Amino acid sequence: MSRAREIAAAVRGGADKGSWALAAAEKAAKNPYNAFRHVDVEAVAAQASVVNREGLLAGVPIALKDNLTDVGQPCGCSSKILEGYRAPYTGTAVQRLRDAGAVVIGRTNMDEFAMGSSTENSAYGPTRNPLNESRAPGGSSGGSAAAVAAGIVPLALGSETGGSVRQPAALCGVVGLKPTYGRVSRYGLVSFASSLDVISPFGADVRDTALVTAVMSGYDPLDATSAAEPVGDWLAACDRGVAGKTIAVVTECEGDGVEPGVQAALHRTEALLRAAGATIERISLPTLRSALACYYLIAPAEASSNLARYDSIRFGQRPDAKDLLEPYQHSRSEGFGPEVQRRIILGTFALSAGYADRYYQRAQGLRRRIREELEAALARVDLLLTPTTPTVAFPLGARAQDPLAMYLSDIFTVPASLAGIPAISVPCGLSEGLPVGAQLMGRAWDEAGLFAAAAVIEAGQS
């Protein structure tokens, strides 16, 4: 598959505006790696025939995670509780991509309701990592990551709550960005944890990721959390380099728990950035050690509230029942998988009378401290550097019965989510023949700085 920029340039120059999308849809319809939940080749052909030939993404095929609404298309969040549901409207980010000429070719597999780090929690079976089919692609946006890594599409959308784009991007060897909270409208994203959720892109390279992020960013009156911050020329930012910038390695993200091959790749990345003119420092951020525990109180609490609507009355399956309680019990116990049920129970407990102050409110206080510590660090340096994940892609099934081991996959990604700052994962080498991702965190609204540094890391791998 060509890069998105190359496809759009060719279509603007007069090439067949539907050929790339149709080829991608035909590949996706075969569903390699169980990456896709739904593909309609005829609908793709109809969509491609009317694309905006002059758009920045003219004719570019793109895949959507199964929790993003696109009118008339299935939107099931890879859950049995939404089986058969079709979206009544198109979300803002998706509409902006369509307006720019992109062609949506299908919907990708995911951890049910975005709850997981391996795409093994889908009600429709796990997605396999295209680089090694015995390994997990990460999650919860593993289907989108696999679609890009397999070369089916150059771009895909996922959603980030605590690392659900950056983590699978690292494990699949592609680029994944979490924009600043409020940068991209959440209108059209099925909610998991509303104060954390961000629609986020995958790209085959840094420049494609910069392009698609710019297209879908900007204020949206339909989303109260959307910010009226200017969107810069992020493609141009990719050529800025890092000369004169100060980049700090977070010491809490080194040592115990980080595989030697991952650590070695990060050390090579430090040397690469230093050679490109950056000053490399080391910095300690002690509160980050508590970020994972903080996240796994706040996110399930918000999920407990958001998923209350799946009650068989408003959403969900509606069985025959003899009383009001029975459809609730049946719909939620049969419709939700084990991981979703686990998080609803955890979140409900954290919000219950007598425990909200002890758990949820204390977690919110810790979240403020994490945000303040990160903001103070980024007032002194330009970017923070960590591994995206402590390991390379792990074998399918290896962590399925151990939720804590699965949660630890997000240990380096949750701090940026809690603080609402932007972060990017970019491939930075191999360990055991599998890709390693380097994570850069930046100041709020400074996606340009992330793209500039990520482009330097990317160039150093060629």
pLDDT digit string (tens) for 233-253?
999 999 999 999 999 999 999
Q: For the residues 372-384, what does the mean pLDDT come to?
A: 98
Distance CA 331, CA 295 (A): 27
Q: Which of 80-89, 182-191, 328-337 has the lowest mean pLDDT?
A: 328-337
Distance CA 390, CA 440 (A): 15
Distance CA 207, CA 235 (A): 6
pLDDT at residue 224 tops 80: yes
Count of CA atoms in the C-beta half-sphere (13 A) of 182 = 13
Share above pLDDT 70 across residues of the chain, in percent, rounded to a whole number = 98
End-to-end Cα spacing for the chain:
18
**Assigned token pair, 395:** 């074998």
Query: Is the CB of residue 165 less than 8 Å from the CB of residue 135?
Result: no
pLDDT at residue 189 tops 90: yes
Digit-coded pLDDT (tens) for 40-69: 999 999 999 999 999 999 999 999 999 999
Q: What is the structure's pLDDT at 200?
A: 98
Share above pLDDT 90 across residues of the chain, in percent, rounded to a whole number = 88
Cβ neighbors of 60 (< 8 A, separation 6 or more) are 4, 7, 8, 20, 21, 101, 102, 103, 154, 155
Catalytic residue among 117, 122, 141, 164: 164
Q: Where are the domains of the chain?
A: 1-462
Catalytic residue among 17, 65, 178, 245: 65
Digit-coded pLDDT (tens) for 411-430: 999 999 999 999 999 999 99
Digit-coded pLDDT (tens) for 8-41: 999 999 999 999 999 999 999 999 999 999 999 9
Alpha-carbon distances, residue 395 vs 119, 209, 400 (angstroms): 12, 28, 10
Digit-coded pLDDT (tens) for 65-110: 999 999 999 999 999 999 999 999 999 999 999 999 999 999 999 9
Q: What is the structure's pLDDT at 319?
A: 67
Whose CA is closest to 340, among 294, 295, 362, 308? 308
For domain 1-462, the CATH superfamily is Amidase signature (AS) domain (3.90.1300.10)
The answer to whether residue 331 is catalytic is no
Whose CA is closest to 413, among 375, 381, 387? 387
Q: What is the structure's pLDDT at 315?
A: 73
Catalytic residue among 78, 117, 118, 140: 140
The answer to whether residue 65 is catalytic is yes
Digit-coded pLDDT (tens) for 190-204: 999 999 999 999 999
Confidence of residue 286 (pLDDT cuts 50, 70, 90): very high
Burial of 338 from C-beta contacts in 10 A (0-12 / 13-18 / 19+) = exposed
The answer to whether residue 164 is catalytic is yes
What mean pLDDT value characterizes the chain? 95
